[in-house]
Every structure is written in C-alpha cells, then in structure tokens.
Amino acid sequence: MKIYATETLRNVVLISHEGAGKTSLVEAALFDTGAIGRLGKVEEGTTVSDFEPDERERKISIGTSVVPVEWRECKINVLDTPGYQDFIGELRGGMRVADAALILVDATAGIEVGTEMAWSYAGEYDLPRLIFVNRLDREHTDFYATLETIQAQLTKHAVAIQVPLGAQADFKGTVDVLSGRATTYEGGKAQEATPPADVEERRHELRETLIEAICETDDELITQYLEGNEIEEAALRRALRAALIAGTLVPVLCGSATANVGIAGLLDAVVDLCPSPADRPQPTDVEGQPVDGHLAALVFKTVSDPFGRRSYFRVYGGCLKADSHVWNPARSKDERVAQVVVMRGGQGEQVDELACGDIGAALRLAETLTGDTLTSKEHPVVLAPITYPEPVYAASVEPKTRGDLDKLGPALARLTHEDPTLHVTRDAESSQTILSGMGETHLQVALERLHRKYQVDVALAEPRVPYRETVTASARAQGRHKKQTGGHGQFGDVWMSVSPLPRGEGFKFTDKIVGGAIPRNYIPAVEKGVREALREGLLSGHPMVDVEVTIDDGSFHPVDSSDMAFMIAGSLAFKKAAEAAHPIILEPIMHVEVHVPNEYTGDVMSDLNSKRAHILGMEPSGEGTTVIQAQVPMREMGHYAAALRSITQGRGLYTMRMEGYEEAPHLVVQQIIAEAQAQKDHK
Ligand SMILES: Nc1nc2c(ncn2[C@@H]2O[C@H](COP(=O)(O)OP(=O)(O)OP(=O)(O)O)[C@@H](O)[C@H]2O)c(=O)[nH]1
Ligand SMILES: [Mg+2]
C-alpha cells in the first residue's frame, strides 16, 4: 500500500446501535473499491472486519477493527466498532483516534437506545457527525419518515444531502440533493440515471431546506441568500463541509449495505466533507501543549496471541517508521519497531512508514500497552490516554484442572493487557479469582478467548456478592484463655468493648489499659487476634467492618502469658462482645441507570420493584426513551443484562456502579446465612 499524506487521510469511526449494519457496510465498501473480489456476509462469518473466530461465531463485532478503504486518491481508515455495550472499551479506543463519526441508523428500527448513546459519545469526543440511513432495501422502511425521526429525536441540525431512488425491494439508488445527480447501483457499480418526477419534487423541497440551512451557518452566504441571489454549488459545498466539521450541520445519507446501494455516494461524501487530520484542532499532549510535529503515536488497541503482540496506533505528530527505535515514556523503555503494518481486518500489509494522522500497527513491541505514547527520547511527548468505564459485572472463575490453574494467571494477565475494561482481582475472603467487566457476555467472551488462545479452561461461577457484617450497639465482654498442658501453660485475659463506627470507616482499635493490667508488648497480639476474628463475621462468615474496639482491662501471668495466648484471648473477647452488640449483615447497593424505549418503561419499572429497587427518578431522554435512576441491591442484579434484554426485546441498556452498603432486610439475611452454610458444607 502506498504512503498517504496527511491531507489525503480520513479517519472515520462507525458507530450505532448493535446490528445496524456497520460491518456489512465496510464489506460493501471494500468490494466496491476493488479491495476484495467477493462480498462477504456477517451471517456466514466471511466479512473482512469481523475476523476473530468469536465474532464469526456470534455474528456480532466484538473488537474495533481498522479497515483502510482507498477511494479517489484518499485513504479512509474506517474504524468498525462493536454496537454491543459490553464491548464499550473497544468503542472508546476507536472513538479516541477518529476524526469524524459516521452514525448508522437502521431504517427498520429508527432511533434506538444505542443510536442515542452513539450520538452522545460522538459529542463527548467532539467528533463531527454524519448519519447513514441503512437497510432501505427492507420492507416497511421510508427514508423520509426516518429523516423526520432523526430531526425530532436526535438533532434538528440533521439535513438530507441525498434522497433514495426507489424504495424497499425496489430501492436501487440515490439522488444528490444539491446537484440532482442520480445514481443507480448494480452489484455495487454506480451508473448515472434519470430520477422520476415524484423524486425530483421531494428533492427540490429538501434542496431549499438544505440551502437555507447551509447559508445560516455562513455569514457571507446568508447575506447573498437573503438578497435572493443564486449561490454557486461549489460555495455551498464548501460551507457544508465547514459546518460539518464545526458540528453545526449533520448530513444525512441513505443506502443499503447488504444490497450494496449508495456506497460510492457515501465514500464521496466522506472524502469531500469529512476533515483530514490536518483540518482537526492541533493535537496536544496530556498537559494541553501542542505536539508540534514531534513524534507522537497513541496506542489505542493491543492484540496479543501466543505469537506476539500487535499494537494499533495513530500518529499525532511526526511519522512512524519501520525499523526504528521509539521511546515509551510510560514504561521508561526504548522500543524497537521492527515492522509497521497497515491492518485490513485481520490481515497486515507491511509499510515503510505512516504519516502524521495515519493509523497502523506495530508488531511485537515488548513493553507497550494500550494508552501508551510512542515518541522520541529527544522530544518526549505524552498524549492523553483513553478513558474507560469502571466494571459493572463480576464473577469468579474456577479452573477446571490443576494444569489450568497454573496457566490461568499469566493468561489472564495477557487478556487484561488486551482489554482495559477487564479486571482481575483476588478475593481474600474466598481465595477465588474474580473477573470483572462490562457484562455477562463480556466475561463469557473472555473465557472463550482463554480457551482458544491459551488453552486454559475455566468455568464462570455465580458472581459472589461481597456482603459485610457490622454491629449496631455497644457491648463489653471478657476473653480469657487459660490452658495447662504439661510443662508450660498458656494464659491471656482481656476485657474489651465493641461499638459501631460510621459506614465506611472500617476498623479502629484503641488501647485504654492503665496501670499495666496487660504489659504493653502483648497489646499488638490482642489487636491481631481481633483482626483475625474480623475476617469471619458471626452470622454469615463475611468480614466485619465499621467497628471500634477498645480494650480497657485484663490480666497476665508472668510465665504462661505469650503473644499467642493474648491473640486467642483478643479473638475470644471480640466474638463475645460482637455477639452481644447486635450484629447485622450489610449488602452492597448499586446505582443503576437504565435507558429504555418508552413502551417498555412500565415493565422495566415493575421488574425493578420486584428487585427491591429504590427508584430515584425517571426522566425522558430524547423523544422515545426514558432514563430510570435507581438504587438496587447487588444481590438482585446478578443476571440483569439477560432480564433487561428479554423485557425490552434487546432495546434497553443499563450501566451500574457501586454506591455503598446498607443493612440487609430480615428475609434476605436468612437467605444469606443459609447460602453461607451451604457453601461451608460443600467445602
Ligand atoms: N436487509 C439488510 N440487512 C442488512 C443490511 N445491513 C446489515 N444487514 C444485516 O444485519 C445484520 C447485522 O449486520 P452487521 O453488519 O453485523 O451490523 P453491525 O452494526 O456491524 O453489528 P454489531 O457490530 O454487532 O454492532 C446482518 O445479518 C446483516 O446481514 C442492509 O442494508 N439490509
Ligand atoms: Mg459489526
């Protein structure tokens, strides 16, 4: 592949509700531009962009893939993101390195929850937006109706720059609104056509609207427009481009990915209207200082497999050359870049260098991780890293065999390098390995990858809810440990009171012993005994938190007392006092935000109510959606992804985060205790 100069590059991220047709659209673009000879299909697992085995199997995109599409002396780097919310980490990487967002709207569905999310992500990343209305080959679709929905529910700045020729099964082409040039597509090949009168009529109406909208964004044109002068098409196109880049207009196009209609028109629009990296605000480093042409490339995605690592980067300053050395400030390491490749889905093509603005991958970097900057040691630049949401779903993983256990740690480390939204922790309580991420599907995909890439087999166990225990009153008790077994005896004796601390304060130990009732050197042993006892609560065996322990009296024996004896005495005293101090079980509470199409709001609310939810608010978001905010015990949220899916036919979305702990109600306490007992018996 040739080396493209900055001005000839377009980095466009495709985003939408899941399944709107992004991957199919990329496939059609590759076919129409001659890069591939056969049009693959998502259902058959034969597309360029969904190349990972799990994507082919599930028929959804899981990772963001980069696909260069060469069109009219330009290279469009298409970033095909997953629509599924579980893979939002991949989406974020793709958004971060794009210069414009192409939002797909499924004409059979209109504005979906994921469309609104896509819209707001593009806003968050300050990306100029275009909209492609897809699937116009399907029954019950109507471009003009979808356009109105977009204007009503997404943005009033949306303007049609194309209209369809034919509809549904007869959908065969598009007409450019400004010029009136009509094109039909036969197997992706564009041909000039003459539009029928009814299409012309609607186009003329939309042309008036478009011209007025363009002129309103440009001081000079608006004067001409108001004076009633005819404005040159070239001037209108220039102003449209500027308005798109500024975000004041959002052009709407139409087509069908699988019927391969309208792709050339879309590529033209991307080349003519979308900004090149040079048209975007000057890149700056993490502190806001201009990069100023010094070498700076951001690694936005890492793929590792047993053969090595592939680091996807975008160049923000200078140009990245193959067979060179770069500096990684985050790791304080020199990295040798042996090969630079341009990826097309899963296939790489070697290149000598990539210009500023371009996207490619470096092979087998030793230390570099996602979010790192590759730069030079002379002029080190650190670019702002990519931000990722906190995990919302956790489950424990259990190795199937001893061999799996040994391989698990290193394999998980590799997986988390690849996916920053995947976290691995160890639960000290249960000594289980806990995997957390963005949802159940996310974790299942991670397990499949463990198996496929690293031959490690693990099972996903029911997520373990981290309950806690605490006390609600104050009580005082004595712990006396005395044992006489042959020679040396054991003696420790301590009085302590236990009382509640405010939520979140953990543990406090105060020594109020006066007059040497217990020698100083035994006090740490008493504290250790208490800490030991805290690890296993009295009711359910979950750790105790938010307690204050004060020791105020005791006694000792000059020969028989020891650290061990006082540790045991401390532990005994704590258990006795805590038992008398009205222990309770605390359960974690999540803050949950659910986005639902209005028609499902009632069902989602009643489901939440059956989950002991405390509803905080309900607000409309956009036209057809409601956002529900609620606090729900984590215990009830175990399989919420699946529940919400079935209630809303896959159209609801949710996010959640940990809010804090609250006392579990009596009935739930009984269940938690029974579950803890069952687990103990099982062991
Ligand atoms: N009839 C019709 N079907 C389409 C069109 N575009 C995509 N599809 C079908 O819709 C399904 C989803 O298409 P994809 O291309 O995988 O959609 P996507 O947006 O990449 O999906 P995710 O990556 O999972 O978010 C596939 O079965 C496609 O064949 C279209 O224009 N017309
Ligand atoms: Mg896809």
Q: Is 141 in the pocket of ligand 1 (CB under 6 A)?
A: no
**In this model, does residue 623 exceed pLDDT 70?**
no
The stretch 572-580 carries a mean pLDDT of 97
Which band of pLDDT confidence, cut at 50, 70 and 90, is reported for residue 683? low
At residue 5, the pLDDT reads 96
155: Cα within 13 Å, side-chain hemisphere: 21
| Mean pLDDT, residues 281-303 | 94
Mutational test site, ligand 1, from 14, 23, 57, max ligand atoms within 8 Å of CB: 23
- Please indicate whether residue 258, judged by its CB atom, sits closer than 6 Å to ligand 1: yes
Quick check: 141 and 168 in contact, CB under 8 A? Answer: yes
- Cβ of 8 below 6 Å from ligand 1: no
Structure confidence at residue 183 (pLDDT):
97
The SS3 call for residue 668 is helix
Percent of the chain with pLDDT over 90: 78
Ligand 2 centre to CA of 97 (Å) is 18
Residue 301 contacts residue 312 (beta carbons within 8 Å): yes
Q: Which of 47-56, 338-347, 349-358, 421-430 is predicted with the least confidence, judged by mean pLDDT? A: 421-430
Q: Please state the atom number of ligand 1 nearest to the C-alpha of residue 18.
A: 25
Nearest-atom index, ligand 1, CA of 135: 31
Question: Is residue 541 scored above 70 in pLDDT?
Answer: yes
Pair 632, 644: CB distance under 8 Å: no
165-222 tens-digit pLDDT:
999 999 999 999 999 999 999 988 999 999 999 999 999 999 999 999 999 999 999 9
Taking the centre of ligand 2 as the mean of its atom positions, its distance from the CA of residue 82, in whole angstroms, is 5
Ligand 1 close to Cβ of residue 595 (< 6 A): no
17 close to ligand 1 (CB < 6 Angstrom): no
Cα 681 to averaged position of ligand 2 atoms, centre (Å): 46
The reply to whether the predicted model has a pTM over 0.85 is no
**Residue 530 pLDDT > 90:** yes
pLDDT at res. 463: 67
**CA 477 – CA 495 distance, rounded (Å):** 6
| C-alpha–C-alpha distance, residues 176 and 102, integer Å | 18
Nearest ligand, CA 258 = 1
Q: Residue 231: what pLDDT?
A: 94
Strands (E), 501-624: 507-511, 547-555, 583-597, 614-621
Calpha distance 607→644 (Å, rounded): 9
CA of 135 to the centre of ligand 1 (A): 8
Select from 14, 42, 85 the residue to mutate for testing ligand 1; criterion: most ligand atoms less than 8 Å from CB: 42
**C-alpha to C-alpha distance for 379 and 459, rounded to whole angstroms:** 48
Residue nearest to atom 32 of ligand 1 (CA): 135
Place of tokens 């990858």: 449
Q: What is the pLDDT of residues 428-470, one digit of tens each?
A: 656 778 898 888 889 999 999 999 988 999 988 876 788 999 9
Instruction: Please indicate whether residue 23, judged by its CB atom, sits closer than 6 Å to ligand 1.
Output: yes
pLDDT of residue 434: 85
The rounded distance, in Å, linking the Cα atoms of 222 and 224 is 5
Q: Is 498 in the pocket of ligand 1 (CB under 6 A)?
A: no
Does the C-beta of 47 come closer than 6 Å to ligand 1? no
Backbone angles phi, psi at 560, to 5 degrees: -80, -15
- Which has the higher per-residue pLDDT, 680 or 185? 185
Torsion (CA) 46, 52, 53, 57 in degrees, nearest 10: -60
Q: What's the pLDDT score for residue 95?
A: 97
Task: Bin 525: left if φ > 0, else alpha if -120 < ψ < 50, else beta.
Answer: alpha
Strand partners, 265: none
Ligand 1 binding pocket includes 257 (Cβ within 6 Å):
yes
* 81 CA from centroid of ligand 2 (Å): 6
For residue 60, report the distance from its CA to the centre of ligand 2, in Å: 5
627 lines ligand 1 (CB under 6 A): no
Q: In degrees to the nearest 10, what's the CA dihedral of 371, 374, 378, 381?
A: -30
Mean of the per-residue pLDDT values of the chain: 93
The Cα–Cα gap between 269 and 122 comes to 18
Contact present, 587 and 503 (Cβ < 8 Å): no
* Max CA separation in the chain (angstroms): 113
Q: Which residue from 372, 338, 446 is spatially nearest to 93, judged by alpha carbons?
A: 372
Q: Which ligand is nearest to the CA of 43?
A: 1
The pLDDT, as a whole number, for residue 429 is: 59
Cβ neighbours, 10 Å, residue 662: 14
Half-sphere exposure of residue 236, counting CA atoms within 13 Å on the CB side?
Answer: 19
Q: Given a cut of 90, is residue 528 above it in pLDDT?
A: yes
Ranges 79-83, 84-88, 212-216, 380-384: which has the least confidence? 84-88
C-beta separation of 157 from 232 below 8 A: no
What are the angstrom distances between the C-alpha of 211 and each of 131, 240, 273, 514? Answer: 18, 9, 16, 89
pLDDT above 70: residue 238: yes
Question: Structure tokens of 325?
Answer: 């050395």
Q: Is the pLDDT of residue 332 over 90?
A: yes
pLDDT for the residue 430: 65
Least confident stretch, 2-11, 48-57, 491-500, 650-659: 650-659
pLDDT at 304 over 90: no
Question: How many angstroms does the Cα of residue 370 sit away from the middle of ligand 2?
Answer: 22
Share of the chain above pLDDT 70, in %: 98
Nearest protein Cα to ligand 1, atom 6: 21
What pLDDT is recorded for position 1?
85
Angle at CA of residue 195, ends 191 and 201, nearest 5°? 150
Q: Which ligand minimizes its atom distance to the CA of 88?
A: 1
- Angle, alpha carbons 350-354-355 (nearest 5°): 160
Which tokens hold the place of 628?
């529900």
* Per-residue confidence (pLDDT) for residue 351, from 0 to 100: 96
Beta bridge partners of 414: none
Contacts of 115 by beta carbon, 8 Å cutoff, 6+ apart: 16, 17, 20, 103, 105, 154
d(CA 19, ligand 1 centre) in Å: 5
Q: Which residues pair with 426 in a beta bridge?
A: 433
Pairing status of strand 507-511 against strand 583-597? unpaired
- What is the mean pLDDT of the segment spanning 231-254? 97
Q: What is the C-alpha to C-alpha distance for residues 471 and 570, in angstroms, rounded to an integer?
A: 17
Q: What is the mean pLDDT of residues 52-64?
A: 93
* Concatenated DSSP letters of 156-188: TTEEESEEEES-GGG--EEEETTT--EEEEETT
Give per-residue burial for 564-599: e unless 16+ CB within 10 Å, then b.
ebbbbbbbbbbbbbbebbebbbbbbbbebebbbbee
Q: What pLDDT does residue 157 have?
A: 97
Element containing residue 9 per DSSP (H, E): strand 9-15
* Cβ of residue 61 lying under 6 Å from some atom of ligand 1: yes
CB-based burial, 468-482: b 16+ in 10 Å, e otherwise: bbbbeeebbbbbbbe
Q: Is the CB of 27 under 6 A from ligand 1?
A: no
- Among residues 241, 233, 183, 238, the alpha carbon closest in space to that of 10 is found at 241
Q: Residues near 428 by Cβ (< 8 Å), separated by ≥ 6?
A: none
Return the axis-axis angle of helices 601-610 and 640-648, rounded to nearest 10°: 150
CA–CA gap between residue 402 and residue 167 (Å, rounded):
60
pLDDT of residue 240 exceeding 90, the answer is yes
Residue 575 CB less than 6 A away from ligand 1 = no
